Amino acid sequence: MATGSASKGKEPATSAVDAYELPWVEKYRPKVLDDIVGNQDTIERLKVIAKEGNCPHIIISGLPGIGKTTSIHALAHAMLGDAYKEGVLELNASDERGIDVVRNKIKSFAQKKVTLPPGRHKFVILDEADSMTAGAQQALRRTMEIYANTTRFALACNMSSKIIEPIQSRCAILRYAKLKDQEILQRLLELCEAEKVEYNEEGLTALIFTAEGDMRQAINNLQSTFAGFGFVSGDNVFKVCDQPHPVIVQDMIKACIKGDVEEALKKLDFLWNQGYSAIDIVTTIFRVVKTYNEIPEYTKLEFIREIGWTHMRILEGVGTLVQLGGLIARLCKMKLDPKLFKTS
């Protein structure tokens, strides 16, 4: 992809000011199932459900920002049409997750009479359902059972294992995977064209790297970078996201592969002196190693094992420069001749 601009002859500053009007994640949120990016097999199943109208209770599980809630709203729109506002109750379970909400709000909505298209049901959408208390989930189970003829429940959660078994057994469970880099790139290009965003290839690559398969994160970072700088470049994206630059980390890994401890520690000191925490640095090291194709597979696995141990120690509270220096030393030692470490 060549360095490009979708805003020839337009002042970037003006576009940057306009960017504050509405978050792009909401402005460009897909309204129909056909517009949702990624997880095509699961989306096809939802299309069949919308067409036939025979919708079961649904649990959609997966990582944040990959289209779970958007898919449920698009399904409800497809099934209810103009009756969407009257026929849908949406609750964010992380805010309203007590047993009283189930007993009052959900139960009263399930009892309410609403005019819907023939053969359709009311929808109760519970976002972040894995945050509900055990008592609320038990109450919800009973409500789902009693009002199954008139109301369908759609739950979005990060981990379906936190939903109690009786609810899981009443639902069709759909699992969403992380979005692929190509899928995120395609969507970012569409937004850049729609919003007249100037960018270069390094900027889009940085957005994909920082997003880690999270479309919402990618779009938010795009809007933030454009609003702050007026141009989406790699350096600007990493400034906005405040993450260690992967090019510096990659140079550090290259030095480790050569066994050059001094050069690797110089790069580490540079990142540390910029104010990045140990967790920021070790996380970026892991992501760079995982995607660095010039490392042989066996060496990559050995590196990842060492990085994992260090990550665990840092999470336990030992987030010091000494800990990171020890990691660098161990990575370098793997590529040095074992005879150098023999003692007489």
Residue 307's pLDDT band, with cuts at 50, 70 and 90, is very high
Which of these ranges, 11-15, 28-32, 230-234, has the smallest mean pLDDT?
A: 11-15
| Joined tokens for residue 317 | 């509270």
Cα within 13 Å of Cα(141), Cβ side: 15
Say whether pLDDT at 325 is over 50: yes
Q: CA-to-CA distance for 75 and 33, rounded, in angstroms? A: 7
List pLDDT tens digits, range 245-295: 888 999 999 998 888 889 999 999 999 998 888 998 999 999 889 888 888
- The model's pTM: 0.77
**What confidence score (pLDDT) does residue 222 get?**
92
Please compute, for residue 145, the number of CA atoms within 13 A of its CA located in the half-sphere on the CB side. 10
Helices (H), the chain: 12-18, 24-27, 40-52, 68-80, 84-87, 99-101, 107-111, 134-146, 165-170, 181-194, 201-211, 215-229, 234-241, 246-258, 261-273, 278-291, 297-315, 321-334
Q: What is the pLDDT of residue 340?
A: 61
Mode of pairing for the β-strands spanning 171-175 and 57-61: parallel
At 285 the pLDDT is 92
CA distance 325 to 265: 7
Which pLDDT tens digit goes with each residue over 116-145? 777 788 888 888 888 888 888 888 888 888
Note every long-range contact of 27-33, with CB atoms under 8 Å and residues 24 or more positions apart, other chains counting. Answer: 28/190, 28/191, 28/194, 28/219, 29/70, 30/67, 30/70, 30/74, 31/73, 31/74, 31/77, 32/74, 32/77, 32/78, 33/71, 33/74, 33/75, 33/78
Residue 312: predicted pLDDT: 92
As a whole number, mean pLDDT of residues 86-113 equals: 76
**pLDDT above 90: residue 309:** yes
Distance separating alpha carbons of residues 276 and 129, to the nearest angstrom? 34
Quote the tokens at residue 263: 């050069």
Q: For residue 310, what pLDDT is reported?
A: 92
Domains for the chain: give ranges and CATH numbers.
Answer: 4-26+180-241 (1.10.8.60), 39-175 (3.40.50.300), 246-341 (1.20.272.10)
Q: Which residue has the tokens 């066996």?
A: 298
Are 15 and 197 in contact by the 8 Å Cβ rule? The answer is yes
State the Cα–Cα distance between residues 107 and 115, nearest whole angstrom: 18
Residue 298: other Cβ atoms inside 10 A:
8
Q: Is the pLDDT of residue 19 over 70?
A: no
What proportion of the chain, given as a percentage, has pLDDT over 70? 89
- Report the amino acid identity of residue 163: I
Instruction: Render pLDDT for 138-172 as a digit per residue (tens, 0 to 9).
Output: 888 888 888 888 888 888 888 888 888 988 888 88
State how beta strands 151-157 and 57-61 pair.
parallel
What does the pLDDT average to over 13-24?
A: 58
Q: Is 11's pLDDT higher than 50?
A: no
pLDDT of residue 8: 39
Report how far Cα 119 is from the mean position of its chain's Cα atoms.
Answer: 35
Question: Among 93-97, 225-229, 329-333, which is the least confidently predicted range?
Answer: 93-97
Question: What is the rounded average pLDDT for all residues in the chain?
Answer: 83
Q: Hey, which residues does 4 pair with through a beta bridge?
A: 199
Would the pLDDT of 93 be above 70?
Answer: no
Q: Residue 337 — pLDDT band, cuts 50, 70, 90?
A: low
Kindly report which listed range (132-136, 171-175, 296-300) carries the lowest average pLDDT score.
132-136
Q: Give the Cα separation of 107 and 93 in Å (integer).
A: 15
- What's the confidence (pLDDT) of residue 286? 92
Summarize pLDDT for 184-218 with one digit per residue, the tens: 999 999 999 988 988 888 889 999 988 888 899 89
